[in-house]
Amino acid sequence: MSHPENSFQPESEHLPDEERLSDEQMARLLAGIGNLETKALLLAGMEPGRLYVHGELHDVFMDMQGENPAWVPHKNTTWSYCKETLGPVGAVAQETISRGRTMKAFKLTEFGEVYGKALSGYLLAWSLRHPDIGLQTVLSVTHINHSNDKQHEGQRAPLTRAKIIRQLVSPDGELTTAKVAELCQVREQTVGKHLQSLSQEGLILLDSSSGNTPYVKYQFGDISGLDKNTDWGVREVNVAGDIVDTLRKIAQTNTTISYQEVSEALRNRYPKYESWRRKSLHNIASQMMSRMADRGVLIESKFRKGKISCIEPVPARVHALAQFVGIVDAIQSGDPTILDEGRQIARSIIQNEDSVHGLVEIRQRFSSSSPARRRSPEEWEQLILESIRRIGGHVSINQVVNNLSEKGVPAKRQSLEAYFKELVHDQKLTEVDFHRSTKFYSATKTPV
């Protein structure tokens, strides 16, 4: 005989009255299983109606790995998955049972079976398709506090992250921290923390100017001076010509313009610039327009000060991130066909030892304590030099981050900065300061 453990009841063990999950329900689900392949595997392996005591949860995880397991976790680890995250979010429930003595056990809830397993199936399949990213990289680790209101904040964080990613993969014009916060209806400070995390994981490129950098608006002056043949002080002559043509076009309808607006118009007019980083176009347009103001072609107008952030996903990650957001939307829709397919995917994955091993290895690779994620300073320096030579010319750190990601090497800008400084010190790189807010580097012909 068993009875519910009242002190450990999730907020809801039952399906919602409406098929579509609320934001709160979807957030709880993501917080429970969305950030770790091994948690999703455990949930996928639990059978409905069965009670699992301490060691039996461990057996579920070991059985799906077969005779040669890729990872043998401590028995407390699988128990902790249920107690610390799957239980509080309503995917499993704890009960007290009697098997000769009083014991505690976990069982799947209806919510966990119908929605949790479906989400597990889709996310595990996604992780197998994108083994160089991993769930933890996208959602980070979720710590759920059981005793105060921070529990709700922790559970909402993964869905907030998913909403932010949705805006990044389908932007309507240039994105700033403030604009993303407005679109997601989240505090700007919260968005900033998520963006910093995504940037550190090599999923997005985030360029922020200092708080004292002016956001300049220019009025059009003597536009007869807008000449392609004029030396506007930039190396990219073809780009300069396109900017001149763009300014002429804008001058027909606008009286004021900023360099951010010019670079965005340039991307819209010329498809070839869609693959360019916005920050690079910003730098060129800013330098040109400053020179134009010196010559009276433009007139510097009023400006406001504040932190201006240019945000965009790493191009090599856009497809994967869009798929991830699509999974969240599909599960939240509550479509029975979609949910059933997700559960079938989960079943097929846990019955395939190679798939399970692959997922365990992904989890290990992206664990912060995993030696597989570390590289020596010498290896990073060699990767940086190879990347710069592949790109050619003068290269920014963010361009290297992007290039390495395209080659399947996740990199963080903050981590690479130290290696760039060391390479400059060793005269293997030359630093070129084209613009006050962005440094460019080139490989020396004969490294010392």
The answer to whether 240 and 234 are in contact (CB under 8 A) is: yes
The answer to whether 18 and 334 are in contact (CB under 8 A) is: yes
Q: Whole-model pTM?
A: 0.64
Parallel/antiparallel/unpaired status of strands 298-305 and 204-208: unpaired
Phi, psi of 90 (to 5 degrees): 90, 10
Alpha-helix runs per DSSP H in 16-134: 23-33, 37-45, 54-63, 75-80, 110-111, 117-129
Residue type, 159: L
CA angle 378–384–389, rounded 5-degree value: 130
Q: Helix or strand or coil: residue 374?
A: coil
Phi, psi of 52 (to 5 degrees): -115, 120
CA angle 365–370–371, rounded 5-degree value: 105
> Residue 26: its pLDDT value, please?
92
d(CA 231, CA 346) in angstroms, rounded, equals: 61
Other beta carbons within 10 angstroms of residue 36's beta carbon come to 25
Domains of the chain: 2-155+319-366 (no CATH), 214-305 (no CATH), 375-443 (1.10.10.10)
Q: Helix or strand or coil: residue 55?
A: helix
Half-sphere exposure of 153 (CA within 13 A, CB side): 8
Structure tokens at 376: 């020596």
Q: Where are the beta strands (DSSP E) in 309-398?
A: 309-313
d(CA 267, CA 428) in angstroms, rounded, equals: 34
The answer to whether 138 and 294 are in contact (CB under 8 A) is: no
> Residue 150: its pLDDT value, please?
42
Parallel/antiparallel/unpaired status of strands 309-313 and 298-305: unpaired
> Residue 408: its pLDDT value, please?
66
DSSP 175: B
d(CA 194, CA 140) in angstroms, rounded, equals: 10
Mean pLDDT by 10 residues, the chain (448 residues): 33 52 91 92 96 94 94 90 92 92 94 96 96 86 44 64 90 78 87 83 67 61 86 83 91 80 85 77 85 85 50 84 95 95 97 96 71 62 88 83 75 78 87 66 69
CA angle 242–271–231, rounded 5-degree value: 15
By residue count, the chain amounts to 448
Alpha-helix runs per DSSP H in 174-236: 177-184, 188-200
d(CA 174, CA 268) in angstroms, rounded, equals: 11
Residue type, 434: F
